[in-house]
Structure 1
Amino acid sequence: MRIVISEFMDEAAVERLRARHEVLYDPALADEAQRLHAIAGEADALIVRNRTQVRGDLVAALARCRIVGRLGVGLDNIDVAACEARGIRVAPATGANALSVAEYVIGTAMLLLRGVYLSTEQVAAGTWPRAALSNGRELNGKTLGLVGFGSIGQLTARLARALGMQVVAYDAMLAADAPAFSASGVQPMALEPLLAAADVVSLHLPLVASTRGLMHAERIAAMKPGAVLVNTSRGGIVDEAGLARALREGRLGGAALDVFDTEPLPAQEHFAGCPNLVLTPHVAGVTRESNERVSDVIATLVLEALH
């Protein structure tokens, strides 16, 4: 049987697959849709990350495919219903990159609240901006507001509470008495009060019709003055231009965006010169360790599906 891998995967997991099946491993395929479509008909399994668009003509070309393995958890690049209608199982690596995302959230929240870590050039040049950088804030005692309280949100809450944060959470899919809240020591809260109360707001949502544009300019304006926003979930949830304006106007204390409405992100004038802004290229869930875990999980699921 033949396995096609269109984006990067841990080599040890690729070798596990090669030991049992023919494998075409070419991370460039994600950007070569025509070539991918041409070979899709020979694939018994397809393994992707977030850039390969498994929909439309590509799904139609998967004539004998049994499984699409997703090296991650988000499924907005995969037409799950169309795959299932053709008898193709869609298998995400649920939970395998949760720790990487949770650590990213906590790490960037600390960086943004403290606000001192971009002074290297000034200090090295002989400037001594000690007075200007002496008003940073500690994480301990602050309130973390989680918008979305699935497995990643719950793990982020545990890390935050271990550092002395208070944690509140909003999840449209969970009742206020859901065991997830009490088990994590997290207070459930409606979205608007959460935004007004949280010193750090972290988004953990899928991109669906009800979440697209959820953090529009008015909601960003309703956040606690000086709060910071972290988005590791999906682009399209945050109004990027509205966020940039809030940073420039000093209404927000900082922001970290790992995901964008268009990826790769083209040059954006509205981000130029924004204070206390961290932009990363969709890597919150990608570390050496998480890549090993995610790849191993998907290799196992693919091998099970092919036997």
Structure 2
Amino acid sequence: MPRILITDSLFLPIGGPDEERLKAEGYEIDRLDVPRADEETLIQHISGADGYILGGIESVTDKVIHAADTLKAIAFTGSGYAEFIPGWRLATSKGIAISAARGENADAVAEWSLVSALMLVRNIPALTAPGGPDFSITRDFNSLTLGIVGYGAIGQALARKAKALGIHVIATEGKPSDEVTSVSLNELVEQSDIISVHVSRHRGKTALDATAIKSIKPGSVLVNAAFEEAIDNDALLQRVADGELRAAVDYPLQADDLPLGALLASNAQTAFNTAETNARVGARATTSLLNLLNSGDDADLVNPEYRNNR
């Protein structure tokens, strides 16, 4: 019986409708119900698998891909597949198809980014902390300018939500609509009260380098819901420590002696994590994997050149 490896159970609950759908199609399910499987464990489980739904935050390295002796397709339950499948080029050369549920989590990440930014604008973390200040003079939302770095699905979703609150939105790294002003990165840094970063790893590291971060207006808020290396975190922490910026990042980030409530840092990447988003992503990844296994094609296919090597 052909076998499908599924990691974690966040997007495809054990015994849930997506797993049952795969079984009904004649596949045996190999559940590796851990969020971050190590390389050795992945190598053991991927050998002999026909399909793989990547539902965790593991790293699918070249060594893992080398061990994938019968693998035909990987369905990634997110957008930035290259971040979690660093061996994607080797997979392509071995004729392994890869799909990604791009844009499915856009609303969830946009909500996290906007909520985090506005909490910091209103200084809520400090005002609600034991021993924090009694009051703080903050800003009306409709007086703010939001600058979005990376105007893909998440950036566009964030722009829609921010504009509904009366926030002026500017953006770079994309083709904003007529309702969003397109500016250079330098202009965005100089004009924004909130800067929110949503670039993909394909864009490259350090979309905001130390020079850009040093140029952000004092009193502004910086949000990074992309990947950790998308900004210079050392430069960010220095400006937060100096009381010049507040920040929210969707990954662990710590420093000593920061102003109270000035940094919101996730214990792990969770901006995407809502029940509704997870259900949609699981169903979409399941459909993609079945399509790739049955026909070799799917709307979410990200490496069509794999066909040249199958």
Is residue 66 of structure 1 aligned with residue 67 of structure 2?
Answer: no
Evaluate the alpha carbon distance shift between residue 157 and residue 244 of structure 1 in structure 2; reply closer, same or farther with a 3 A threshold: same
Pick the aligned partner of 1:273 from 236, 258, 264: 258
Is residue 14 of structure 1 aligned with residue 19 of structure 2?
Answer: yes
Q: CA deviation at 1:25?
A: 1.4
Aligned pairs for 1:81-120 within 5 A: 81-120=89-128
Q: CA deviation at 1:279?
A: 0.5
Evaluate the alpha carbon distance shift between residue 50 and residue 205 of structure 1 in structure 2; reply closer, same or farther with a 3 A threshold: farther
Q: CA offsets per residue over residues 73-104 of structure 1, 9 Å max, x none?
A: 11222132221111111111112111100111
Q: CA offsets per residue over residues 141-181 of structure 1, 9 Å max, x none?
A: 2111000111111111011111101111111xx4xxx4x42
| Preserved contact between residue 241 and residue 270 of structure 1 (Cα < 8 Å) | no
Q: CA deviation at 1:306?
A: 2.3
Between the aligned partners of 2:63 and 2:132, the Cα distance in structure 1 is 59
State the aligned residue count.
284
What amino acid is the match of 1:104?
W
Evaluate the alpha carbon distance shift between residue 128 and residue 250 of structure 1 in structure 2; reply closer, same or farther with a 3 A threshold: closer
Please state whether the residue corresponding to 1:294 is helix, strand or coil.
helix
Q: Which residue matches 1:181?
A: 177
TM (norm. structure 2) is 0.85
Q: Which residue matches 2:36?
A: 30
Q: CA deviation at 1:211?
A: 3.2
Q: CA offsets per residue over residues 40-94 of structure 1, 9 Å max, x none?
A: 1211111114622222111111122111111111122213222111111111111
Structure 1 gap ranges (5+): 260-264
Is residue 168 of structure 1 aligned with residue 170 of structure 2?
Answer: yes
Percent of pairs with identical residues: 29
Q: CA RMSD in A?
A: 2.0
Please state whether the residue corresponding to 1:111 is helix, strand or coil.
helix
| Preserved contact between residue 244 and residue 274 of structure 1 (Cα < 8 Å) | no
Between the aligned partners of 1:121 and 1:214, the Cα distance in structure 2 is 32
Q: Which residue matches 1:145?
A: 147
Q: CA deviation at 1:138?
A: 2.5
Q: Which residue matches 1:285?
A: 272
Between the aligned partners of 1:10 and 1:284, the Cα distance in structure 2 is 18
| Preserved contact between residue 3 and residue 51 of structure 2 (Cα < 8 Å) | yes
Aligned pairs for 1:239-250 within 5 A: 239-250=232-243
Between the aligned partners of 2:48 and 2:153, the Cα distance in structure 1 is 35
What amino acid is the match of 1:16?
R
Q: CA offsets per residue over residues 92-119 of structure 1, 9 Å max, x none?
A: 1112111100111111111000002444
| Preserved contact between residue 5 and residue 25 of structure 1 (Cα < 8 Å) | yes
What amino acid is the match of 2:198?
H
Between the aligned partners of 2:232 and 2:46, the Cα distance in structure 1 is 36
Between the aligned partners of 1:33 and 1:139, the Cα distance in structure 2 is 46
Structure 2 gap ranges (5+): 295-310
Aligned pairs for 1:208-223 within 5 A: 208=202, 211-223=204-216
Evaluate the alpha carbon distance shift between residue 274 and residue 236 of structure 1 in structure 2; reply closer, same or farther with a 3 A threshold: farther
What amino acid is the match of 1:192?
N
Is residue 198 of structure 1 aligned with residue 192 of structure 2?
Answer: yes
Q: CA deviation at 1:285?
A: 1.0
What amino acid is the match of 1:73?
S
Is residue 258 of structure 1 aligned with residue 243 of structure 2?
Answer: no
Please state whether the residue corresponding to 1:306 is helix, strand or coil.
helix
Q: CA deviation at 1:272?
A: 5.5
Please state whether the residue corresponding to 1:213 is helix, strand or coil.
coil
Q: CA deviation at 1:295?
A: 0.8
| Preserved contact between residue 195 and residue 222 of structure 1 (Cα < 8 Å) | yes
Evaluate the alpha carbon distance shift between residue 269 and residue 225 of structure 1 in structure 2; reply closer, same or farther with a 3 A threshold: closer
Q: CA deviation at 1:128?
A: 9.1
Q: Which residue matches 1:237?
A: 230
Aligned pairs for 1:41-56 within 5 A: 41-49=47-55, 51-56=57-62
